[in-house]
Amino acid sequence: TLSKPVLGIESSCDETGVAVYAAGRGLLAHRLYSQVRLHAAYGGVVPELASRDHVRKLLPLARETLAAAGVGLRELGGVAYTAGPGLVGALLVGAACARTLAWALEVPAIGVHHMEGHLLAPLLEPDPPAPPFVALLVSGGHSMLVHVAGIGRYRLLGDTLDDAAGEAFDKTAKLMGLPYPGGPALARLAEQGRAGVYRFARPMTDRPGLDFSFSGLKTQVLLAWQASDRSEQTRADIARAFEEAIVETLTIKCRRALAATGAHTLVIAGGVGANRRLREQLAEAGAREGFRACFPRLEFCTDNGAMIALAGALRLAAGQHADAAIRVFPRWEL
Ligand code: KG4
Ligand code: ZN
């Protein structure tokens, strides 16, 4: 059934994302503005600067996105926004904007969990996976395995005990002197690394369970880097071994989660889902072992408005919406 388009707004961290999604028609348009250059000089996201930049960029970006979608403001059936988790000031910009728009347009507004957005991002692709499936959520803030029985029916199977996978990429990049944002830079460097020069442990794969721990890897890398000749080739070799350790660990746990739940579909989401080696290894494991591995396109692995518009549209279609008070949840369990 065709339904009215939903505007989605993402502003939980350092990306301003806006999209228009309509059930039955799919994604009509999406736009992203990244603040990465703004924060690069500080070596990380500065929350106050992030909030101010969302204020500057959000409405122009929404206008541009609606124009690209060919949708007038008054044709909208609802407004979805990321209500958490994330930086509280940044979240409040998106929430205030979305709720005010919805109030003025007399349509419902819905606050979406950022990780639910990531989790559902693979549904934006052609031939989308249908629940039940297992989702690997790997971002800068989370490393989780979740069983998805249906929209809104999520069961946590495993979580990180310390650093998230993306955080491990970022911190490891930083300690080898790579510029912010480190994760993607480290992954690029790993492409130049030689196989077998270094080898790091696959944390917590030697015992049963679906939890992760990545902080020890960081220490192993630090020790290896300090004891090395610190040449470019060595840095690439270490980057490669680090990436292999993370990717193999994630692959082992995904296979375990599929076996434990009896699911035949694996969904990968979140920024680390953009990692080429991870995509290849999980696709290969799936071909070998008979499960389907579904990834969002690269630009929908990292933060974006499309996943929020989609998650919001699904929840609004299920009759959910928020009341008039503007609330955000900087810490919020899925
Ligand atoms: O989902 P996301 O954009 O933001 C959060 O919700 O955290 O994920 C960002 C994380 C960062 O830690 C970044 O280093 C990591 O995803 N990331 C990558 C790659 N691209 C982004 N990690 C490994 N390989 C990549 N190609
Ligand atoms: Zn995210």
Q: What is the CATH number of the domain that holds 141?
A: 3.30.420.40
**Whether residue 290 sits in one domain with residue 192:** yes
User: Among the atoms of ligand 1, which is closest to the Cα of residue 167?
Assistant: 12
Shared-domain flag, residues 115 and 168: no
In a domain, residue 14? The reply is yes
User: Binding site annotation covers 323?
Assistant: no
Residue 268 inside a domain? The answer is yes
**What is the band of 2 on the pLDDT scale with cuts at 50, 70, 90?**
low
pLDDT at residue 324, as a whole number: 67
Q: Which residue's CA is minimally distant from atom 22 of ligand 1?
A: 272
Cα separation, 27 vs 178, whole angstroms:
36
334 is a domain residue: no
User: Is residue 151 pLDDT above 70, yes or no?
Assistant: yes
Task: Determine contact, residues 82/141, Cβ cutoff 8 Å.
Answer: no
Q: Which atom of ligand 1 is nearest to the CA of 115?
A: 6
Nearest to 166 by CA among 301, 53, 304: 301
Pairing state between β 153-158 and 143-150: antiparallel
Cβ atoms of residues 43 and 118 within 8 Å? no
CA 181 / ligand 1 centre spacing (Å)? 9
- For the chain, give the mean pLDDT: 95
- Whether residue 79 lies inside any domain: the answer is yes
Q: Is the same domain home to 164 and 240?
A: yes
- Residues, the chain: 334
User: Residue 129's pLDDT band (boundaries 50, 70, 90)?
Assistant: very high
In a domain, 325, yes or no: no
Ligand nearest to the CA of 246: 1
pLDDT at 1 over 70: no
Domain annotation covers residue 49: yes
Name the residue with the closest Cα to ligand 1, atom 7: 140
Q: What pLDDT is recorded for position 180?
A: 85
**Residue 12 labelled as part of a binding site:** no
Determine the pLDDT at residue 15: 97
Which contacts qualify for 203-206: CB closer than 8 Å, 24 or more apart? 203/245, 203/249, 204/249, 205/248, 205/249, 205/252, 205/253
Establish whether residue 14 lines the binding site of ligand 1, counting it when its CB lies within 6 angstroms of any ligand atom.
Answer: no
Q: Are residues 95 and 30 in the same domain?
A: yes
195 Cα–ligand 2 center, Å = 30
CA gap 115, 85 in Å, rounded: 8
Most ligand 1 atoms within 8 A of CB, residue of 302, 304, 307 to mutate: 302
pLDDT in tens, 238-267: 999 999 999 999 999 999 999 999 999 999
Q: What is the CA radius of gyration of the chain?
A: 20
What is the predicted pLDDT for the residue at 333?
86
Atom of ligand 1 nearest to the CA of 303: 3
Say if ligand 1 is within 6 A of residue 247 CB: no
**Tens of pLDDT, residues 155-213:** 999 999 999 999 999 999 999 999 888 999 999 999 999 999 999 999 999 999 999 99
**Ligand 1 in contact with 117 (CB < 6 A)?**
no
Burial class (CB in 10 A: 0-12, 13-18, 19+), 293: buried
pLDDT of res. 264: 97
- Mean pLDDT value across residues 55-74: 98
Q: Say yes or no: 166 and 255 in one domain.
A: yes
User: Does the pLDDT at position 82 exceed 70?
Assistant: yes
Answer yes or no: is 120 a known binding residue: no
**Which residues does residue 155 pair with via DSSP β-bridges, in sequence order?**
147
Q: For residues 146 and 225, state if they share a domain.
A: yes
The reply to whether 176 and 271 lie within a common domain is yes
At residue 325 the predicted structure's pLDDT band, cuts being 50, 70 and 90, is confident
pTM: 0.94
Task: Indicate whether 285 and 310 sit together in one domain.
Answer: no
What number of CA atoms fall less than 13 Å from residue 203's CA on the CB side?
20
Pocket lining: 275 vs ligand 1, CB cutoff 6 Å: yes
321 annotated among ligand-binding-site residues: no
* Same domain assignment for residues 91 and 135: no
Q: Consult the annotation and say whether 114 binds a ligand.
A: yes
CB of 163 within 8 A of CB of 171? yes
Indicate if ipTM > 0.85.
Answer: yes
- CB under 8 Å to 269, separation ≥6 — which residues? 118, 119, 121, 122, 135, 136, 137, 138, 295, 296, 301
Q: What is the number of other CB atoms lying within 10 angstroms of the CB of residue 333?
A: 11
Task: Please measure the distance between the N-terminal and C-terminal CA atoms of the chain and give it in whole angstroms.
Answer: 28
The answer to whether 291 and 266 have CB atoms below 8 angstroms apart is yes
94 is in an annotated binding site: no
Residues 106 and 206 in one domain: no
For range 23-28, the mean pLDDT:
95
Task: Tell me the percentage of the chain whose pLDDT exceeds 70.
Answer: 99
Q: How far apart are CA 247 and CA 25, in angstroms?
A: 35
Query: How many structural domains are present in the chain?
Result: 2
User: Is the domain of 185 the same as that of 279?
Assistant: yes
At residue 323, does pLDDT exceed 80?
no
**274: Cβ below 6 Å to ligand 1?**
yes
Whether 330 is covered by a domain: the verdict is no
**Distance between CA 50 and CA 11 in Å, rounded?**
9
Structure tokens, 200: 């790091």
**Ligand 1 and 303: CB distance under 6 A:** yes
Domain limits for position 16? 6-120+301-317
pLDDT at res. 210: 96
By alpha-carbon position, which residue is closest to atom 14 of ligand 1? 183
89 lines ligand 1 (CB under 6 A): no
Domain-embedded: residue 140: yes
Which residue's entry shows tokens 């660990």? Answer: 249
Of the residues 250, 272, 299, which should be mutated to test ligand 1's pocket, given the most ligand atoms within 8 Å of the CB? 272
pLDDT score for 327: 84
64 shares its domain with 136: no
Helix (H, G, I), strand (E, B) or coil at 248: helix
Q: Which atom of ligand 1 is nearest to the CA of 183?
A: 14
